[in-house]
Chain A
Amino acid sequence: MEKILELKEISKKFGNFQANKNISFDLYKGEILTILGENGAGKSTLMNIITGFYRSDDGEIYVNGKKVTLTSPKDAIKHGIGMVHQHFMLVKNLTVFENLLVALKDKRFIINKNRYANIFLNIFKKFNLNIDLDLPLWKLSIGEQQWIEIIKLLINDCQILILDEPTTLLTPQETEFLFKFLFELKKEGKSIIFISHKIKEVMEVSDRIVILKKGEVVSILNKEDFNENRISHLMVGTVLKNKYDKDVKPSDDLLLEISNLYAKNDKGLADLQDFNLVVRKSEILGIAGISGNGQKALAEVLTGLKDPYKGKISLNGIDITYGTARQKYIHGIAHIPEDRKAMGIAPDLTVEENLILKNFKDKELGGILLNRKNINRYANDLVEKFNIQYGVKNAPVRLLSGGNIQKVIIARELSENPTILVALYPTRGLDIGSQEFIHQTIIEHQKKGMSTIYISEDLDELFKISDRIAVIFRGKNMGYFEPDNVDKKTIGKMMGGIIKDD
């Protein structure tokens, strides 16, 4: 087999922090190579080195057998290397059309809109996408933004395609569309580097797997050598369970009751329509559904970001739909938002500062003046407990790896022992070890009486953690199930709107 890309002894430091250390491996023509590794293992860093964004401190890169120096993304493009970035390279204030056009390699000086629009719409069709080219990018859902980031890569003819967690924000169907396309590219002889934390996907697409740990390659597996158990063993040291044995049961008392609720959604996604839901005390209620069926509206109504226009929400039997009762309720709620960079963190503040955003008024930590010593102690506890990988100390939180940003949010949201947690796809982008840890932490809090509304489209995860699962479809609750008494197939069908099982 022909080698198209060879990495030799690549190393990279940020300050004192060694993000990549002596990394060597090859990429062959026509293969899909997956990079696996914990959050903060250095996957994105390495990919950024290959695309010329970061300069490596040491090491050599060969493309087609020739040594290359990649001093800028432009160099990488010249060598046929393109990448879907985990942190999107999109321009919020430009239209979808303009975002795609900027990325297109060969184009004329004067912009001929129709000509290029046709090219883009043809690709949209391939993936069943219905996105208006004239919308400014910020108006798209993050799932749609992910697609634009992917399509920016696909409109150019690249030899080496790098996809850094492209599926984290996609629905399972969308993921299948993408994979089908990747297999076609592979057949054409293109080479692909793929990154994902979803083991099932990794099993499906990979020809080989490189496992990174703390910036170093720990093993390279061939197709015949890997299976789910082996991988999870290599990643986290244990084999993953299908279901947690919880020693806690939800109480019979109702906590939250939503009846006949209607709420609008901004972007043409499904509204909540006559939505009903009952959450019991210290229960983990899973909400299964394909993203875009009203989950976001539900989370926003529950966390106070949006008001319903009809219907009723009550907490412990007291109406909290509007007014001061609602304000008070909102105050005590914990929220893990979907778009974590836009809503979950203050990107330029440090990890410590982000961790205390919710309780900086606490006497111990501050009040009027911040008490840095106590804040550090408090934050260090959380950092240790949640295994947040810092990199450089006192760096702004935006420099953390994607998964670690998510951990900062979760740590902060759970730090005040809330009674209700609304979690919107909380384990997206987390490595399998961290996913386990988040699940365990939520179960810990369940023991202390917290109820969780756990919105996800990953059935494996919902079956593992939920006491009950409700299915949401086109803004309606389709019914409740106990994970023990139903199979994933039935739920999967209901998520697609099929009620009767035949």
Chain B
Amino acid sequence: MLDIIIDTTIRAGTPILYATIGAIIMEKSGIINLGIEGLMLIGALSGFYFTFITNSLLIGFLAAILLSAAAGSIHGILTTYLKANQIVSGLALTMFGTGITAMLGKSMVGENIRGLERINTVKDIPFLSPVLNQDIMVYISILLLLLIHFFLYRTTIGLNLRTVGENPYAADNAGINVHLYRLFAVVIGSGIVGLGGAYLSLVYTPLWIENMSAGRGWIAVALVIFSNWDVRKALIGSYLFGGIAANQLRLQAMGTNIPVQILQSLPYLFTILVLIISSLKNDSTKQNQPESLGNPYDREDRV
């Protein structure tokens, strides 16, 4: 029973984790992206479509990365070089993603593919087997998380990126190309968000269903804040949220006396609670929200 819960948690948390990591990278550079939901859908559909026509999951995942990165680059260019409002542009991206995937995905509804399989190595060790018997994309997400954390805090390019998000004037003054860094962060982040979408359509439920991200993109946007822009905490947040959301469904199916509304609000309540507690324990003076988040950069507009 516990093994099943752990397994469900990991599988349900992984797409949200990808989306949250992607969003954190963008926000670290100072760009808010409310288009995560749209990007996930684009990733999900393009992953499914290309797997369907080529029969290759690898091509499917790559297509998901590329196409959502391409869609994200529109937001990136608009909000950097063209100084558009980030909120408006992000919302437009979500509407665009929802609309275009609904339209282009019609022919894919009801089609089948062979989804990504687990690596099944360890048999019947309690606690351990649900952790070790996942699919490769689960492990890649963890690896990616560690890599990004290392990149942000141990490399000069990562430091430059954080500087761009905190104080673009200081970054510019140091010879860092603010717009280019931001654009790259948005493109790469969007690609990672797209992977989250593809996980849904290629692994979690290997199907294309219209609007199949079902709000996970919005959860990711919120988790960025709750995890205090820390990718390690994003892991906790995503698993908590994904896990409780999926497991409460199981509970509903088994039939309990607890009202459905309460069950449905559990993932939100728990996630908020745990993340608040975890941020209390930390040095409360450590402010992680990038200071210039949401502000377009204009060199001649004095700080």
Contact surface of A with B, Cβ cutoff 8 Å: 51, 53-55, 72-74, 77, 83, 85, 87, 89-94, 98-99, 101-103, 105, 107-111, 136, 398-399
- Contact call A91/B170, Cβ cutoff below 8 A: yes
Contact A73 B175 (CB under 8 A): yes
Q: Is the beta-carbon distance between A73 and B156 smaller than 8 angstroms?
A: no
Pull 12 A–B residue pairs with CB atoms less than 8 Å apart, ordered by A. A73-B173, A74-B175, A83-B173, A89-B167, A89-B303, A91-B166, A92-B166, A98-B163, A105-B175, A109-B155, A111-B155, A399-B302
8 additional A-B residue pairs with CB within 8 Å, beyond A91-B167, A102-B160, A109-B155: A54-B299, A72-B175, A72-B177, A87-B303, A89-B167, A89-B170, A91-B291, A93-B287
> Which of B172, B175, B303 has the most A CB atoms < 10 Å from its CB?
B175
Bound CA span A111–B286, Å: 21
Majority secondary structure, A binding face: loop
User: How far is it, in angstroms, between the C-alpha of A91 and the C-alpha of B166 when the chains are bound?
Assistant: 6
B300 within 8 A of A: yes
User: What 1/0 flags go to B157-173 for Cβ under 8 Å of A?
Assistant: 10110110011011111
Asked if B155 contacts A93 (CB within 8 A), the reply is no
A90 in contact with B159 (CB, 8 Å): no
Once A55-B300, A91-B166, A92-B166 are accepted as A-B contacts, the answer to whether A101 and B173 lie under 8 Å apart by CB is no
The answer, yes or no, to whether B154 is at the interface (CB within 8 Å) is yes
Q: Which of A72, A77, A91, A94 has its CB near the most chain B CB atoms (within 10 A)?
A: A91
Choice from A53, A74, A89, A111 contacting B159 with Cβ under 8 Å: A111
Nearest chain B CB to A473 CB, angstrom units: 31
**Min C-beta distance of A358 to chain B, whole Å:** 25
Contacts of A136 in B (CB 8 A): 285-286
Contact of A94 among B155, B166, B172 (CB under 8 A): B166
Task: Kindly report which residue of chain B lies nearest to residue A139, judged by CB atoms.
Answer: B285
Q: Tell me whether B4 is interfacial, beta carbon within 8 Å.
A: no
**List of B residues within 8 angstroms of A72 by Cβ:** 172, 175, 177, 299
> A85 CA to B302 CA in the complex, in Å?
11
What is the chain B residue whose CB lies nearest that of A347? B303
Which residue of chain A is the closest to B171 with respect to CB atoms? A102
Q: In the bound complex, what is the Cα–Cα distance between A103 and B169 (angstroms)?
A: 12
* Complex alpha-carbon distance, A432 and B157, angstroms: 44
Query: Per a CB cutoff under 8 Å, which of A89, A92, A93, A109 touches B157?
Result: A109
In the assembled complex, the CB of A345 is this many whole angstroms from the nearest CB of chain B, namely: 13
Assess the B156–A90 pair: CB atoms within 8 A.
no
Contact A74 B156 (CB under 8 A): no
Annotate B59-83 by CB proximity to A: 1 below 8 A, 0 otherwise. Answer: 0000000000000000000000000
Given contact pairs A91-B166, A102-B171, A74 touches B300 in the complex (Cβ within 8 A): no
